[in-house]
Structure 1
Amino acid sequence: MGFNQSKADPSLFTKGYGSEFLALLIYVDDILVASPNLSLIQELKTHLDNAFKIKDLGTLGFFLGIEAHLDSSGLNLCQRKYTLDILSDSGFLDCKPVSTPMVPGHHLDKDNGTPLSDAGSYKRLVGRLLYLTATRPEITYVVQQLSQFVDAPTNEHFTAAHRILRYINKAPGQGIFYPKGDHLQLKVFSDSDWATCSTTRKSITGFCVFLGSALISWRSKKQATVSRSSSEAEYRALAATVCEVQWLTYLLKDLQVDLSRPAAVFCDNKSAVAIAENHVFHERTKHIEIDCHIVREKVTQGLIKLLSIPSSSQVADGFTKALPTSMFNLFVSKLGVQDLHAPAYRGVLEDNVNKEEKGEKGNKLNSLYVNQL
């Protein structure tokens, strides 16, 4: 039918331009179609049905266990049913919720605790939590930490995994929100936690990428080599981040999203920014692998613009370490997540207002509630 397969994502097929644009995303036998022209979608479905006898599920509601809710304000993606299934299978539906997925300052080690007699249950739980990070970015760091011990888990690792269950039980319907009419520019935050692994002394890379105000990519991963300084660790994190930005640029181009300005990459380490912008090799950088200097190349090409920010404004901080409650709540708020299944405030507030008489107290309350809403 004239579709072109994306080089950035082999599962994506595109065709046409503008109002005639058609995108097709395939995962085994699950297919997602998007287009501004409904007649093109219907034509494609008819063609596929004649060839394969497909089942038309209508407007997007579920895809690969992810729930999609589209309205006039934007798109919300969550995994509420998947989350409740995890909690039910683990016996944590009625557990006491906690405010953070990991105790601040707690570091997991392979030698801590007693080895589990049934390691399979731990592996299955971590595997399910890994897929949950598709719509719950705030648990990415903790799940990354737990994933390091699937070969020989202990009771302490299992206890840490149970804390995540207690956290997601607090708001099982929480997911990512993509607002409509947003300005399409890439804003990227890159961070690292130097030598955080007590066993290998390797650092953690964390980054998050926003298209406008919508979070579209994030990662928390241990670096492959040991860094000699925090600046080197930050520079390696920048290299991984820039590679992700380059890939996203190719993908967005296939989706006909024109990025007119360079991606703004924010880093809270001035030395790492200086290394990236300095084209002269010197004693402090000659031991760093050549592939890390892709940052310099992309700065020169105009793909990214490096900007230094204070650590207090670093959004990616929650992808490199466990944060205390106040900082964690601020981190979650910056990610643009929301819970569509949470009880609406309006009904509760209106009930309170109705209980008041039409006196001065009731008028003040009503004015306050309207301003909050």
Structure 2
Amino acid sequence: MTTIRTLLAIAAAKGWHLHQMDVNNAFLNGDLEEDVYMELPLGVAGQKDGQVCKLNKSLYGLKQASRQWNTKLCVALQKMGFKQSVPDNSLFTKGKGSSFVALLVYVDDIVVASSDLNLIKQIKVQLNDSFQIKDLGSLKYFLGLEIARQKKGVAVSQRKYALELLEETGFSDSKPVYSPTVPSHKLSKNEGDLLDDTTPYRRLVGKLLYLTITRPDISFATQQLAQFLDSPTNLHLQAAHRVLRYIKGAPGQGLFFPASSDLQLKAFSDADWGACVDSRKSVTGFCVFLGEALISWKSKKQATISKSSSEAEYRALASTTCEVQWLLYLLAEFGVHPAIPTAIYCDSKSAIAITENPVFHERTKHIEIDCHLVREKSHKGVIKLFHVSSANQLADILTKAHCPSTFYSYVSKLGLLNIYNPS
């Protein structure tokens, strides 16, 4: 999904055309490498007991069907001159400058982007010769994402998905709230009464996770709810219902990729030390912008316990550095080369000092690998750390709960837009 958001941000800034296609009966195109037999379906003339038939082509339902289809599509695209991307195998690129074409594949859904509309038409013809495709025209609806485009940029939302979720859970007419979490209450696995049926809670959290593709404002709340999938309680369900009431306030809110973006990377890294009341593990949060467009973010509990806030912040820096490095590789596939070093903003002076101090001591020797990673990228000029005040630390929204006024101040700086808002 980060690759999709990156493509949309670059297309908005460079004015590329965005089109989509769908392959008809994609899995039936796969060639089988193994001998696979199936029982004869009922109603076949002359059927006898114990008879089977050998498959020459792949069928829906076979375990290897998706892999065989992907292999055949990759071979066909490479014959057309496309190169498969190393950072993301679902991305294929061809050409340079005005003849550049980027093609994104998700099973049988294909998005193609280029500044040359005639080139896109040629690719559609070539693909149709190899597979029977359905030309869906300009990109408008892809994997549940609603894409709206105008001169100012590209807006992406999941309004239809959000409304269906509200209707399914019975919250279509609920009273909206202005923040998805309550700052004064931290969820714990030991509070509340266990639910008799955990399936609705798990289904709800799964759907909320998919909604975070365009809603970074609910990422922290959803991450917290996902910690209790094994044994949720009534209080966890109440917290999930609050997220639904927050979504009810603006179901059409989503990302906006402006056409005036400068295509320079910058990142914000933050951590909440000992945030988990059950394990005392910290929470990592980061968000990465391409110009003014938010393309990547994460809210995740750290794997190990940190002995200090500096250590927690430094582990978050390591995660942010890895994401920035991967994005630089990905952007190079699109022919975009941002100026380096990439600025990473951190609100911990001690974490920045650890990066600049080459000496390992008692407080840092147990996080030596993270130290080496961040220091190496810093010394090579890939990243540069800058201190930022907590009030301007945008990743703070991904690490802890906030009151509505503070929460709104952070959300307003993330580049979100609700095109369905009459105002």
Same fold per superposition (TM over 0.5): yes
In 1, Cα distance between the equivalents of 2:217 and 2:401?
A: 10
Match of 1:148, SS state, is helix
Amino acid at match of 1:246: Q
In 2, Cα distance between the equivalents of 1:105 and 1:277?
A: 36
The answer (yes or no) to whether the contact 1:239–1:293 under 8 Å persists in 2 is no
Corresponding position: 1:153 with 2:232: yes
Question: Match of 1:276?
Answer: 355
The answer (yes or no) to whether the contact 1:76–1:176 under 8 Å persists in 2 is yes
Amino acid at match of 1:121: P
Question: Match of 1:63?
Answer: 142
The superposition leaves residues 325-358 of structure 1 with CA deviations (integer Å, 9 ceiling, x where unpaired) of 1110001101010100111x3xxxxxxxxxxxxx
Corresponding position: 1:265 with 2:338: no
The answer (yes or no) to whether the contact 1:203–1:227 under 8 Å persists in 2 is yes
Aligned counterparts, 1:50-129, within 5 A: 50-129=129-208
Question: Match of 1:10?
Answer: 89
How high is the TM-score relative to the length of structure 2?
A: 0.80
Question: Match of 2:303?
Answer: 224
Question: Match of 2:36?
Answer: none
Match of 2:366, SS state, is coil
Question: Match of 2:375?
Answer: 296
Alpha-carbon shift at residue 155 of structure 1 (Å): 0.8
Alpha-carbon shift at residue 261 of structure 1 (Å): 2.7
Alpha-carbon shift at residue 291 of structure 1 (Å): 3.9
The answer (yes or no) to whether the contact 2:345–2:388 under 8 Å persists in 1 is yes
In 1, Cα distance between the equivalents of 2:395 and 2:370?
A: 23
Amino acid at match of 1:115: L
Equivalent position to 1:314, from 377, 383, 393 = 393
Amino acid at match of 2:266: K
Corresponding position: 1:286 with 2:365: yes
Aligned counterparts, 1:157-172, within 5 A: 157-172=236-251
In 1, Cα distance between the equivalents of 2:176 and 2:326?
A: 38
Question: Match of 1:367?
Answer: none
Alpha-carbon shift at residue 260 of structure 1 (Å): 2.1
Alpha-carbon shift at residue 20 of structure 1 (Å): 0.4
Amino acid at match of 2:149: L
Match of 2:318, SS state, is helix
The superposition leaves residues 45-72 of structure 1 with CA deviations (integer Å, 9 ceiling, x where unpaired) of 1111112111111001000000000100
- How many residue pairs align between the two structures? 344
Match of 1:288, SS state, is helix
Alpha-carbon shift at residue 289 of structure 1 (Å): 4.0
Match of 1:163, SS state, is helix
Gaps of 5+ in 1: 346-373
Alpha-carbon shift at residue 233 of structure 1 (Å): 0.4
In 1, Cα distance between the equivalents of 2:294 and 2:331?
A: 14
* Two-structure CA RMSD over aligned residues (Å): 0.8
In 2, Cα distance between the equivalents of 1:293 and 1:161?
A: 39
Match of 2:343, SS state, is strand
Match of 1:297, SS state, is helix
Match of 1:284, SS state, is coil
Corresponding position: 1:329 with 2:329: no
Question: Match of 2:118?
Answer: 39
The superposition leaves residues 111-153 of structure 1 with CA deviations (integer Å, 9 ceiling, x where unpaired) of 1111111111111100000010000000000000000111111
Amino acid at match of 1:198: V
The superposition leaves residues 164-193 of structure 1 with CA deviations (integer Å, 9 ceiling, x where unpaired) of 100000010001000012112111100000
Corresponding position: 1:239 with 2:318: yes
Amino acid at match of 1:142: A
Alpha-carbon shift at residue 105 of structure 1 (Å): 2.6
Question: Match of 1:25?
Answer: 104
In 2, Cα distance between the equivalents of 1:38 and 1:170?
A: 39
In 1, Cα distance between the equivalents of 2:164 and 2:371?
A: 42
Match of 2:288, SS state, is strand
Judge which range, 278-287 or 201-210, deviates more: 278-287
In 1, Cα distance between the equivalents of 2:257 and 2:201?
A: 33
In 2, Cα distance between the equivalents of 1:291 and 1:304?
A: 14
The answer (yes or no) to whether the contact 1:78–1:173 under 8 Å persists in 2 is yes
In 1, Cα distance between the equivalents of 2:394 and 2:370?
A: 26
In 2, Cα distance between the equivalents of 1:253 and 1:154?
A: 46
Judge which range, 291-300 or 24-33, deviates more: 291-300
Question: Match of 1:354?
Answer: none
- In the TM superposition, structure 1's runs of 4+ consecutive aligned residues that sit over 3 Å from their partners are none
How high is the TM-score relative to the length of structure 1?
A: 0.91
Alpha-carbon shift at residue 154 of structure 1 (Å): 0.8
Alpha-carbon shift at residue 309 of structure 1 (Å): 1.1
The answer (yes or no) to whether the contact 2:314–2:370 under 8 Å persists in 1 is no
In 2, Cα distance between the equivalents of 1:52 and 1:158?
A: 46
In 1, Cα distance between the equivalents of 2:155 and 2:372?
A: 37
Alpha-carbon shift at residue 284 of structure 1 (Å): 1.6
Question: Match of 2:281?
Answer: 202
Aligned sequence identity (%): 60
Alpha-carbon shift at residue 290 of structure 1 (Å): 1.4
The answer (yes or no) to whether the contact 1:122–1:158 under 8 Å persists in 2 is yes
Amino acid at match of 1:106: H
